[in-house]
Structure 1
Amino acid sequence: MTDPKYGPRDPLSAEQVAAAVAALRANWTVLDAEPMPAGSDIVYGVTVRDAHDRRREVVLKCFRRDGPVEGRSPERFFVEVDLLELVGRETAIPVPEVYGAYRSRDGLPAPAFLMERLPGEPPLGVAAEGRAAVAERLLRESGRYLARIHDLRSFDAFGDLVSGDGGPAVRDGRATWPARLRDIVDDSLDGLAGTRFADLAERLREYADGRFDELDLAADAALLHGDYRPGNLLADPGTGEPTAVLDWGAAQAGDPRYELAWAVREFAGRAPVGSVARARVREAFIDAYEESRGTRFERDAAFERRQSFYLAVTWLVECRWFDAWWGGADESAREARAERLRENVKELR
């Protein structure tokens, strides 16, 4: 994600970073701090000396009030703390330990939290040839982790999650999944006005209306990570074993099959539908997901039709946010992706 409002600009002084860390861990001393790129919030990698005179690598994350994501709020930002603590407490999914958090502090960016910095590297290029065993392990473990996330909590409504008194809660929820999905589609279509994809809006609206009329989209409201992709994971580059699942601030309550469509698309490196790379990723990921949940999808025509629609919705969302996600990318990569999205829309049936 490369809009100028996404990192790595440096909005905090060294004194502000030190003060924020001190507000969370008074007996820790900041030795060094560097802004971290590619985030919608203010994120710093910080080296500290703790109370036992040991060096620690930690991450300071602060709410960015001028961030690029519409609808963000302190409560939406703070749900990540709730989820990191919940997932760390109730699962074996590797997530950072939260060392401290505050909702407000005079003179400091707020809310903010401090967390462990886990080892590993972003496992980009999962679908690349040449390291099949490493890619297979990453895909299967990531599929199992996503299944565990989806089984962790259920909700009475569908929508974005915020930090509530009793943990993650749905804000301004919808009673049914089709209603929630319709909001996602309509908001994205409305947001195409004035973009390079404005001319696709009518075609996409016609397609979406047909799918809403045709498909059975009934679902239970499960916990969704909200942005489950290789860029939000860390992994051991030698083995493919995931070492961290990060960035829970986009969590929502929704249909797990919708997040599966997004995850397969992202872990396949956005490979075209029907490609060998995408088919390989899809099979490994969903097989491990089903194995972890102890149940299999009935992969009939209705299932495939629904998943195709969900995939098309992810394309629509990407068109809506194209400038934010691709604005700072290499021009050739950006233009190639824009053309691929147009081809995807042309091929919708």
Structure 2
Amino acid sequence: MTDPKYGPRDPLSAEQVAAAVAALRADWTVLNAEPMPAGSDIVYGVTVRDGEDRRREVVLKCFRSDGPVDGRSPERFLVEVDLLELVGRETAVPVPTVYGAYRSRDGVPVPAFLMERLPGEAPLGVATEDRTGAADRLLGDAGRFLARIHDLRSFDTFGHLVAGESGPTVRDGQGAWRARLRDIVDGSLDGLAGTRFADLEGVFREYADGRFDELDLAADAALLHGDYRPGNLLADPETGEPTAVLDWGAAQAGDPRYELAWAVREFSERAPVGSAVRERVRETLLDAYEDARGVRFERDEAFERRQSFYLAVTWMVECRWFDAWWGGADESAREARAERLRKNVTEP
């Protein structure tokens, strides 16, 4: 998702929130609960008094069965719990502690989990940050964290991750990244019918077909966060030090270079290709990523053409989900983004 206002808030009653918390921590008492800007799930910031009479700030996250995103399921929702525990256990990437989760309970929203509420603010404005030191600190740490995530697990197939008996697993996986990427492209373009971007389907499809014919898309299946962007991070507003990496529910097994194309796009705040802002963000992020993984990309013409294609795929996905992602945004921002997406069609 791109816009932080994505999705309705779907507020629960005070009784429902209290019942969900009690199902996870029976000795905790809810003192206050407020709906938080939501994505594809129902999210509440909750103040509780724990069993030792201490106040805690926590987050309650509940599955929304009628959400606007295709393919959502309880298993895909609960993979976030698996990943938070895995990342917290095996890396230094800051993630919330999970206090409890359930697949089903009588009389309460299902499924749901409860986690720590970490300090910090969403580091929006990274690309135009006046305090360059703080912005560079954030970009460097973001690149290093992404490298750790990509190194954490590998998979035999490509596709969405879901909660499995032994941890995150691929659902309905493809044996090759090319086939997985083809599914992403075809699903996005098939979904343009009836949208404001319906007229772009043919242009996008012709471009994509050409790239599938000419590019080497061989890749290993690594763990991808799936929505790695400033809106899903928290950071110290003064220093730029990240304090949390959030929202792992879109995780998948895929080519790390695809997620890097998405990350560069998002951390540069969707600045035009070739702009000074985008190039500064790209180099800072990629340099930190490469240092952390101990590998260097061959930044030759083949690499750049593949990254350009990956970026164009993110535009196709955004066009498909534009109304859901940008539906809650200010009208002027929404229309400016729609115009920019149309201009992008001439620039892949």
- What TM-score range do you get, normalising by the shorter chain? over 0.9
Residue 127 of structure 1: aligned partner: 127
Question: Would you say the 8 A contact 1:81–1:113 is kept in 2?
Answer: yes
- Show the 5 A alignment for 1:316-327: 316-327=316-327
Question: Would you say the 8 A contact 2:159–2:252 is kept in 1?
Answer: yes
Separation (CA, whole Å) in 2 of partners of 1:218 and 1:227: 22
* 1:228-283 superposed Cα distances (whole Å, 9 cap, x missing partner): 00000000000000000000000000000000000000000000000000000000
CA-CA distance at 1:4 after TM superposition: 8.8
Separation (CA, whole Å) in 2 of partners of 1:51 and 1:158: 43
CA-CA distance at 1:5 after TM superposition: 7.6
2:159 paired with 1:159:
yes
Give the secondary-structure state (helix, strand or coil) at the position aligned to 1:86.
helix
Give the secondary-structure state (helix, strand or coil) at the position aligned to 1:113.
strand
Question: Would you say the 8 A contact 1:149–1:225 is kept in 2?
Answer: yes
Residue 305 of structure 1: aligned partner: 305
Residue 27 of structure 1: aligned partner: 27
Give the secondary-structure state (helix, strand or coil) at the position aligned to 2:155.
coil
The 1:146–1:128 alpha-carbon spacing in structure 2 relative to 1, beyond 3 Å, is same
Residue 60 of structure 1: aligned partner: 60
Separation (CA, whole Å) in 2 of partners of 1:296 and 1:2: 32
User: Partner letter of residue 59 of structure 2?
Assistant: V
- Show the 5 A alignment for 1:115-264: 115-264=115-264
Q: TM-score, normalised by structure 2?
A: 0.98
Separation (CA, whole Å) in 1 of partners of 2:6 and 2:156: 34
Residue 46 of structure 2: aligned partner: 46
CA-CA distance at 1:330 after TM superposition: 1.4
Question: Would you say the 8 A contact 1:21–1:60 is kept in 2?
Answer: yes
User: Partner letter of residue 242 of structure 1?
Assistant: P
* 1:22-78 superposed Cα distances (whole Å, 9 cap, x missing partner): 110000000000011132101100000001100000000010011111110000000
Question: Would you say the 8 A contact 1:139–1:285 is kept in 2?
Answer: yes
CA-CA distance at 1:8 after TM superposition: 2.6
User: Partner letter of residue 93 of structure 1?
Assistant: V
The 1:119–1:3 alpha-carbon spacing in structure 2 relative to 1, beyond 3 Å, is closer
Question: Would you say the 8 A contact 1:7–1:35 is kept in 2?
Answer: no
Residue 9 of structure 2: aligned partner: 8
Residue 84 of structure 2: aligned partner: 84
Question: Would you say the 8 A contact 2:5–2:329 is kept in 1?
Answer: no
Separation (CA, whole Å) in 1 of partners of 2:309 and 2:164: 32
Separation (CA, whole Å) in 1 of partners of 2:5 and 2:145: 32
Question: Would you say the 8 A contact 1:152–1:223 is kept in 2?
Answer: yes
Q: TM-score, normalised by structure 1?
A: 0.98
Question: Would you say the 8 A contact 1:161–1:171 is kept in 2?
Answer: yes
User: Partner letter of residue 8 of structure 1?
Assistant: R
Give the secondary-structure state (helix, strand or coil) at the position aligned to 1:346.
coil
Separation (CA, whole Å) in 2 of partners of 1:158 and 1:126: 31
The 1:78–1:69 alpha-carbon spacing in structure 2 relative to 1, beyond 3 Å, is same
Give the secondary-structure state (helix, strand or coil) at the position aligned to 1:250.
coil
Query: What is the aligned-residue RMSD (CA, Å)?
Result: 1.1
* 1:91-118 superposed Cα distances (whole Å, 9 cap, x missing partner): 0100000000111001111111000000
Separation (CA, whole Å) in 2 of partners of 1:132 and 1:52: 43
Separation (CA, whole Å) in 2 of partners of 1:210 and 1:313: 13
Question: Would you say the 8 A contact 1:3–1:324 is kept in 2?
Answer: no
Separation (CA, whole Å) in 2 of partners of 1:73 and 1:5: 18
Separation (CA, whole Å) in 1 of partners of 2:342 and 2:5: 24
Question: Would you say the 8 A contact 1:46–1:60 is kept in 2?
Answer: yes
Separation (CA, whole Å) in 1 of partners of 2:4 and 2:296: 39
Q: Runs of 4+ in structure 1 displaced over 2 angstroms? A: 1-5
Residue 103 of structure 2: aligned partner: 103
Separation (CA, whole Å) in 1 of partners of 2:160 and 2:188: 15
User: Partner letter of residue 331 of structure 1?
Assistant: E
Residue 335 of structure 2: aligned partner: 335
User: Partner letter of residue 33 of structure 1?
Assistant: A
Give the secondary-structure state (helix, strand or coil) at the position aligned to 1:210.
helix
CA-CA distance at 1:9 after TM superposition: 3.6
Question: Would you say the 8 A contact 1:2–1:324 is kept in 2?
Answer: no
The 1:243–1:129 alpha-carbon spacing in structure 2 relative to 1, beyond 3 Å, is closer
Unaligned runs of at least 5 residues, structure 1: none
Separation (CA, whole Å) in 1 of partners of 2:226 and 2:296: 22
CA-CA distance at 1:20 after TM superposition: 0.6
Separation (CA, whole Å) in 2 of partners of 1:259 and 1:329: 24
Question: Would you say the 8 A contact 1:83–1:168 is kept in 2?
Answer: yes
Separation (CA, whole Å) in 2 of partners of 1:69 and 1:166: 26
Identity of aligned residues (%): 82
